[in-house]
Amino acid sequence: MKKKLAILLSGRGSNFEAIARAIEAGKLNAEIAVVISNRPGARGLDRAKELGLEAVCLPSRGVAREDYDARLVDELKRHNPDVICLAGFMRLLTPVMIEAFRGRILNIHPSLLPAFPGLDAQRQALEHGVRFSGCTVHFVDEGLDSGPIIVQAAVPVKDGDTVESLSERILEAEHAAYPRAIALVLSGAYRTEGRRVVRLKEK
Ligand code: GRF
């Protein structure tokens, strides 16, 4: 049986599409069981429908965080995902979600964590003057972009960069990193030692 992914997004959905492409190309042995958006107009939701995937909108506006997460847990459980991928999902999860799927929720963040967590990571990197930034795929815990790191990719910051040009370069790295991290987690060939995700040697 193929392993099942659930994708949570709020907007454009380019990481979701990169994951879908990796599956299509045979680089990721999984299927997308459901795509859920908390925003009705999310482009990623439309793309999911176009791709013939199960696309669910669970609007979050005006819903208390715990109540929302309880609804999310109910919806996710109907699809029985092995791994839940946050892909531009613009909400902090409460323990209601995290405890229901501990160790199985992944997020992608556009910086080399622990530098520049939170919003506008690319702008933070540019303003700080770092010469390298990048992206991080990590397990989600109760903190803000704080869980154990699964995959990182470094990207140079160039002198003429704007937030847009840097974001674009980082996004390209994100599209390669996310499927790689998902593949590792689905394979189970790792062990978490404190904060460290250690790869197990192939037999
Ligand atoms: C990405 O930069 C991701 O790292 C961040 O939100 C953005 C989502 O982009 N968490 P997209 O919706 O996947 O195109």
- The per-residue pLDDT for 202 is 65
Residue identifier of the C-alpha nearest atom 1 of ligand 1 = 88
Which residue ranges have their beta carbon within 6 Å of ligand 1? 9, 11-15, 44, 87-88, 108-110, 171, 174
Helices (H) and strands (E) in the chain, counts: 6, 9
- Measured between alpha carbons, how far is 14 from 44 in angstroms, rounded to an integer? 7
- In order of start, what are the domains of the chain with their CATH numbers? 3-199 (3.40.50.170)
What are the pLDDT tens digits along the chain (203 aa)? 899 999 999 999 999 999 999 999 999 999 999 999 999 999 999 999 999 999 999 999 999 999 999 999 999 999 999 999 999 999 999 999 999 999 999 999 999 999 999 999 999 999 999 999 999 999 999 999 999 999 999 999 999 999 999 999 999 999 999 999 999 999 999 999 999 999 998 65
Q: What is the pTM for the complete model shown?
A: 0.97
| 201 Cα: distance to centroid of ligand 1 (angstroms) | 31
Catalytic residue at 109?
yes
Catalytic position from the list 79, 109, 128, 138: 109
Please list the residues that pair with 191 across neighbouring strands.
198
Which atom belonging to ligand 1 lies closest to the Cα atom of 15? 13
